[in-house]
Chain A
Amino acid sequence: MKDPIDYKILQKFALGKYSLKDFKLVSRWFEDKSNEADLKIAIQQHWYKFSEDFSGNEKDLTSVLNQLKQKIAKERPVVVVLFRKKIQKFYTRVAAILLLPLILYSVYSTFQKVPAPEISSLIEIVSPHGARTHFHLPDGSQGWLNSGSRLKYATGFLKNRNIELIGEAWFDITHDDKIPFIVSTTNLDVQVLGTKFNVAAFPDEKVTEVVLQEGKVKVNGYNGLFTVDMKPDEKFTYDKDLQSGTIQTVNAEQFSSWKDGLLVFRNEPLSEVLKRIGRWYNVEFVLNDPEIAKLRYRATFQEEQIEEVIRLISLTAPISYSLNKREMGDDGVFKKRIITIQRKI
């Protein structure tokens, strides 16, 4: 039995003004398979007319999004494992088939003179903790390497302009249409033709940041996870735990001011301020008060002693600090100095 859908009753139902009679009708439309197409059309009309303006009365769906993120994040490793297993199986078979010819070939080749392959060696630039290093690359590009960071590239650099970064660096890249310059980090690649930008990819931090000062860059996640085209004065932040990125408009110069010996903070939370100061002076901060971590700062420091910097910060916020003595590790090397921050009582 197919009964026609009364759009008015359906609308009244959606608005919450309906009787038992209406409810029975609506239930029948929903249940009856033969009505499905008509019902879909009726409800689709409602969907397109449905107002997107909830007059600020938004439902908090953050927990739904967080659950989704977890589910999505879980999805990936499973796929990888299956893939590897398959490959292994496949290669075992291939290996078995290829083994004999391979033995024959190796016997053959030992009696032949094989030219030695071109040796490709790695060049590494290291900037020790508490120091900044200026570097020049074979293609004319140059830049600064921040405290506790390193750059690596192979001798074939001019052919592919590929460089690996661990930590933070500011680049001023020489323009070359034919060979893009690629900075590889643990979680993403930054691909450029010629431009100025800053990359911060410290292995112990969960976010990787790219700040573009001039020109154009393309940021590529691994395995095609994402591709983002950046414009000047934008900051792209990739969170490896959440596997998600955000783009913000920023003042790009502020993020590279470290290369000029300046520490610039513009309306940044104390947690961020301390992270950067810690990297700069090679000290470790302990801050267990989440309320204090949110305090916002605006400050510029230039070539100051760590004690002076932390004293200035404590003057402008309700915090006190204690400088601990540096401890000797098991290996006889001094550990990082630890500075504890607490709420001023």
Chain B
Amino acid sequence: MKNEQSYTEQELISLLRSGSQFAFERLFENYSQKLYRFSLSYLKSETESEEIVQDVFLKLWENRDKLRNETSFQSYLFTIAFNDIRKHFNKKARDERYRTEILEFLSDENPAIETNPDFETLVIKLESLIDQMPDRRKEIFRKRKQEGKSVKDIAIEMYISPKTVENQITEAMNYLKKEFGKDLISGLLFFYVFLD
């Protein structure tokens, strides 16, 4: 904003320490974009990155009396952000685990899957392939792989034999193998043409 008087960071920090919401908003203006982009580069999720921004600034407000001076402000902000990003990242990696496991399994046959530099696209492809499965197979597959339920539990839950559950999962994996094999030829071509 053009009209607003520009305070030095030092002044803003000492204002914030005394509980000034005005200073809080100026600091938000100065750092929220950087914080957002930075979080996005690790978490790859807009909503989660917004959460980080909110969380970091809320902690900044709650701990405003502990702020010292300008030199430590940037690193203070970073420390809160780092801990937050780390927490989110680990949770995300846990949620993603079934996908990486499936892709890893598929890479036994197609080693290129593991080194393909566009992991994000592979994940999207995997999800859309799972989505295209027949409803029943999809349900069984997700219960087993995503939710980690045992074959026996799924069988009881769905009133089917454990054998059927196993068959469906084998079918699903074969389908993924086939589709990824197909895609990889065109996929690799794509990467060789457009990267470097």
Note all chain B residues with C-beta closer than 8 A to A13.
42
Contact count band on A: 35 or more
- Shortest Cβ distance from residue A27 to the other chain B in the assembled complex, whole angstroms: 4
Contact assessment for A14 and B42 in the assembled complex, using a CB-CB cutoff below 8 Å: yes
| Stretch from A134-142, A238-246, A301-309, A323-331 that touches the partner | A238-246
Contact assessment for A44 and B86 in the assembled complex, using a CB-CB cutoff below 8 Å: no
Q: Does B75 contact A (CB under 8 A)?
A: yes
Q: What per-residue 1/0 map shows which CB atoms of B30-52 lie under 8 Å from chain A?
A: 00111011100110101000100
Q: How many contacts A-B (CB < 8 Å)?
A: 139
Q: Does B89 contact A (CB under 8 A)?
A: yes
Contact assessment for B82 and A226 in the assembled complex, using a CB-CB cutoff below 8 Å: no
B79 nearest in chain A by CB position = A40
Contact count band on B: 35 or more
Q: Does A54 contact B (CB under 8 A)?
A: yes
Q: Does A227 contact B (CB under 8 A)?
A: yes
Contact among A30, A59, A68, A246 with B57 in the assembled complex (CB-CB below 8 Å): A68
Contact assessment for A64 and B54 in the assembled complex, using a CB-CB cutoff below 8 Å: yes
Q: Does A1 contact B (CB under 8 A)?
A: no
Note all chain B residues with C-beta closer than 8 A to A248.
3-4
Give the distance in Å from the alpha carbon of A246 to the alpha carbon of B58 in the complex: 20
Residue of A58, A64, A223 most packed against chain B (CB within 10 A): A64
| Stretch from A17-25, A143-151, A258-266 that touches the partner | A17-25
Q: Does B115 contact A (CB under 8 A)?
A: yes
Chain B residues packing against A (C-beta within 8 Å) = 3-5, 15, 18-25, 28, 32-34, 36-38, 41-42, 44, 46, 50, 53-54, 57-58, 61-62, 74-75, 78-79, 81-82, 85-86, 89-90, 93, 100, 103-104, 107, 113-120, 122
List 20 A-B pairs, Cβ < 8 Å. Answer: A14-B42, A20-B107, A20-B114, A20-B116, A20-B119, A31-B93, A46-B38, A54-B37, A64-B32, A68-B54, A68-B57, A69-B25, A71-B58, A225-B21, A226-B21, A227-B15, A234-B5, A244-B21, A244-B22, A246-B4
In the A-B complex, the 3 residue pairs with the smallest Cβ-Cβ separation, listed nearest first, are A226-B20, A14-B41, A27-B93
New A-B pairs, 5, CB < 8 Å, besides A43-B42, A68-B61: A47-B82, A50-B38, A75-B62, A225-B19, A226-B20
Chain A residues packing against B (C-beta within 8 Å) = 12-24, 27, 30-31, 36, 39-40, 43-44, 46-48, 50, 52, 54, 58-59, 61, 64-65, 67-69, 71-72, 75, 221, 223-228, 231, 234, 242-249
